[in-house]
A and B are shown apart, each in its own frame.
Chain A
Amino acid sequence: MPACVELKDVTVVYPSGVTALSNIDLTIDEGEFAFLVGPTGHGKSTLLKLLYREELPARGRVFVSGWEVPRISASRVAHLRRRVGVVFQEFRLLPRTAWESVAFGLHATGRSYREVLRRVPDALSEVGLLDKADHHPSALSAGEQQSLAVARVLAMRPPLILADEPTGNLDPASSRHIMQLLERANREGATVLVATHDPAIVNAMRRRVIVLHHGRIVQDEPEGGYPDDLGRA
């Protein structure tokens, strides 16, 4: 299996002087499903941001599907991002109806109307939001907004899915459901990387677990559980 994500000795320093990630070496193969765990503030989101070029590394190299991410020209960034679906920790929904939120990415990447008309209701009903298709984010609960962010990614069917605490605002049943949707996307071929500090979902699934502590990878197990000794900060 070729590598989908590859980090080589990556260090990220924010302008404030905080070193969010130190000397990260990490390879995730195509088709893998992995958890990125660790207490709040220990660098999970930062690692994901490197992969869709929201942050740049101070040192080291970052590859996604063979592209060296920090070196992609500004005009090519959009093409990288079409291949990387992100469920953002802050949702980042457009101020539009649920339907339009999901449809936007499809339209923007030139999908035909027939395809959009098929995929949008599919994705919305999968996360249980079809009856709220005409709601604006402001009229949705935090959990519903999170589900909508997941639907937006699922509809695009990207080869790489990054989910940043996608169950942070959901009850256990909804959390399990969202994780099932991500697993299905994985079965259908997508590489999936989920950042979380929720032991329940990590322990239930027994997948690869990468542990971040103070910006360093301290543990990486193929079928791990949530490490007991990590405080939830």
Chain B
Amino acid sequence: MILAALDFICRETVLHLKRERLIAIATVSTVAVLLIVLGSIVLFLADLKTWTGWMTDQLEVCGFFAKDTTREDALKTVDPISAWSEVESVRFVTKEEGWERQKRDYPSIARLEDAIDNPLPDAVQLKIRDPEQSARVAKRLEQVPGIEAVRWGGSLAQSLVRFNRAVNWSGLVVSLLVAVAGILIVHNTVRLALHSRRREVYIMQLVGATRALIAAPFLLEGMLHGLLGAALACCLLVPVHMYLRDLAARSFFPLTPDSALLPFALYLLLAGAVLGFTGSVFSVRRYLRHKPEWHG
């Protein structure tokens, strides 16, 4: 019985997919366009976040130990510095770790890896409670024995971070708005598609098909359309972003790494499936209750 129902649902879905090409094109392209917009916003936000993180790193006050300072001596300075009231946290960065990070942030350095030895010394990284105090902390850090050089981001970097935070928030609001609008648009597309089939849905009920059995192929169909639309969006967004990232990296400007694009693509596919499915749920529910007019 359950097998027969599954078989029935699959056959009906295939029949729908074969018959309603125009509807398929409409739904798939709607979902695709929508997810391209949403996906671009998400990627843009992710890039901003990557960039903000990078900027924040620049904002941190960094102290580099002299080459002749032993690691033991260097480590001894961490606790006293942590006690400073302006300092939120202190991270000790070994020269090996620092080198790995450089290579990650600047892939072009990675290509030279074999050619050059690690030129970095051990370092301490200070997160400052209030960026305004960076200058004072920098001065204080210079006094610490063993520290040879201090680096900290200027006020330009500070205001950039504040600007980025604002952009982050407005991006979130915009993407939420787009998502809501998108659900409405997809819902309406599916509803239009179903409108032409309202009689069919009604007749199916009259000849004794259960609502669940009638609805299932429509939901599967909606989900497949959503998945297909999402796949199209991925096909556009992923290569374009990879290209842009590569381009940006050449000017030492880090964007979201390619490895993050796989989960991104999976989320996009999930979003497409959910969008197609929910859009269909609401529409089918409506038409299961609807009684069409008959002439004659």
Contacts and interface: CB of A to CB of B under 8 A. Distances in A.
18 contacts: A52-B206, A78-B205, A78-B210, A78-B211, A81-B207, A88-B206, A90-B295, A92-B294, A93-B203, A96-B15, A104-B204, A104-B207, A104-B209, A105-B208, A108-B209, A112-B4, A156-B207, A156-B208
Interface string A140-180: 00000000000010001000000000000000000000000
Given A95-B200, A107-B8, A110-B5, A82 B208 contact: yes
Interface residues of B, number: 21
Interface in B202-246: 203-211, 213
Interface of A: 52, 54, 74-75, 77-79, 81-82, 86, 88-90, 92-96, 104-105, 107-112, 152, 156
Secondary structure class of chain B's binding surface, majority of residues? helix
A82 B210 CA distance: 10
A92 B203 contact: yes
Closest 6 CB pairs of A and B: A82-B208, A108-B209, A81-B208, A78-B210, A110-B4, A105-B207
Contact of B1 (A52, A74, A88, A110): A110
B71 interface: no
Nearest to B288: A74
A112 B3 CA distance: 10
A111 B8 CA distance: 10
B19 to A, nearest CB: 8
Given A77-B205, A81-B206, 19 more contacts: A78-B210, A81-B205, A88-B206, A89-B296, A90-B295, A92-B203, A93-B203, A94-B203, A104-B207, A104-B209, A107-B4, A107-B11, A108-B207, A109-B209, A110-B1, A110-B4, A110-B5, A112-B4, A152-B207
A135 B70 CA distance: 90
B119 to A, nearest CB: 74
